[in-house]
């Protein structure tokens, strides 16, 4: 009995599980492919290494490996995850979690490299900002950029709160306005992207003294102490 066009579409649209298990492969048994278009900035690479070192290699981030070609010839070539493989080697990891696909052509392996990269999506910036603000108090000051994979100046920008502008310099005794301004607003007033390295170096030194956990609280505490030293309320 011939299948109708609708039945064929329905059958083809059903999801199937391919590569049903994660296996541990010797690091040295794998090799890079020659076609990977994905690149990483030095910061992204350092963040990846930091993550593997601190979080460990999560199985959800397993390599996708071309095990054998359509004729059964051994390949063991990385389809997706080259950077994870490279960095893990630098960390001395001898095994890698991997999902291995067998009996596939080189053309299909190349297609999968593109597909895996394109299907990861990208964050909605408003929702990312909301998520980051919910975690602000829990992020370690000295490692939060590497932990999250977001450079510190971008984090500072995302964590700013849109508030009414305060008065000019004449209305700002010291740095804090005489009225109320949120701690995040204080960071916005003091942060200068052109002096990012010096800013973060000073913040880290002060955080160690104040026992504060993030940039926002460190700046707020510094302003609070400066006002107290000058006799302001």
Among 118, 135, 168, identify where a domain stops: 118
Task: Return the higher-pLDDT residue of 205 and 97.
Answer: 97
Which tens digits make up the pLDDT trace of 63-102?
Answer: 999 999 999 999 999 999 999 999 999 999 999 999 999 9
Which tens digits make up the pLDDT trace of 125-177?
Answer: 889 988 988 887 788 878 888 999 999 888 888 877 543 343 333 343 444 44
Among 78, 102, 118, identify where a domain stops: 118
112 in the same domain as 26 = yes
The span from the CA of 132 to the CA of 126, in Å, is 10
Do residues 160 and 154 lie in contact, with contact meaning Cβ atoms separated by under 8 Å?
no
Q: The whole model's pTM is what?
A: 0.65
> What is the b/e burial string over 59-97, where b = at least 16 CB atoms within 10 angstroms of the residue's CB?
eeebbbbbbebeeeeebebbbbbbbbbbbbeeeebeebb
208 in the same domain as 158 = yes
The span from the CA of 95 to the CA of 118, in Å, is 27
Among 69, 93, 118, identify where a domain stops: 118
Number of domains in the chain: 2
152 in the same domain as 102 = no
Q: Is the pLDDT of residue 179 over 50?
A: no
Show the domain range for 184.
125-229
130 in the same domain as 114 = no
* Full DSSP string of 165-218: ----GGG-SSSS-SS---HHHHHHHH--GGGHHHHHHHHHHHHHHHT--SHHHH
Q: Does residue 112 lie within any of the structural domains?
A: yes
80 in the same domain as 164 = no
Q: Is the pLDDT of residue 29 over 90?
A: yes
146 in the same domain as 62 = no
160 in the same domain as 97 = no
109 in the same domain as 24 = yes
| Residue 92 belongs to domain with CATH number | 3.90.1530.10
Query: Residue 199's CB: how many other CB atoms inside 10 A?
Result: 20
């Amino acid at each position: 009995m011939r299948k109708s066009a609708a039945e064929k579409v329905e059958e083809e649209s059903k999801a199937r599980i391919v590569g049903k298990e994660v296996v541990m492969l010797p690091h040295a048994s794998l090799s890079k492919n020659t076609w990977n278009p994905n690149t990483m900035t030095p910061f992204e690479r350092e963040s990846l290494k930091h993550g593997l070192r601190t979080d460990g290699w999560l199985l959800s981030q397993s390599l996708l490996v071309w095990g054998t070609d359509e004729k059964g010839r051994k390949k063991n070539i990385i389809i997706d995850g080259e950077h994870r493989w490279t960095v893990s080697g630098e960390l001395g990891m001898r095994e890698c979690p991997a999902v291995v696909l067998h009996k596939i052509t080189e053309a299909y392996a190349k297609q999968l490299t593109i597909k895996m990269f394109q299907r990861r999506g990208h964050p909605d910036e408003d929702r990312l900002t909301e998520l980051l603000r919910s975690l602000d108090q829990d992020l370690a000051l000295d490692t939060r950029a590497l932990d999250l994979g977001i450079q510190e100046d971008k984090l500072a920008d995302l964590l700013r709160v849109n508030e009414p502008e305060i008065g000019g310099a004449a209305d700002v005794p010291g740095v804090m306005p005489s009225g109320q301004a949120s701690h995040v607003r204080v960071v916005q007033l003091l942060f200068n992207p052109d002096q990012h390295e010096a800013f973060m170096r000073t913040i880290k030194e002060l955080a160690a003294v104040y026992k504060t956990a993030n940039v926002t609280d460190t700046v707020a505490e510094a302003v609070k102490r400066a006002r107290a030293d000058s006799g302001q309320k």
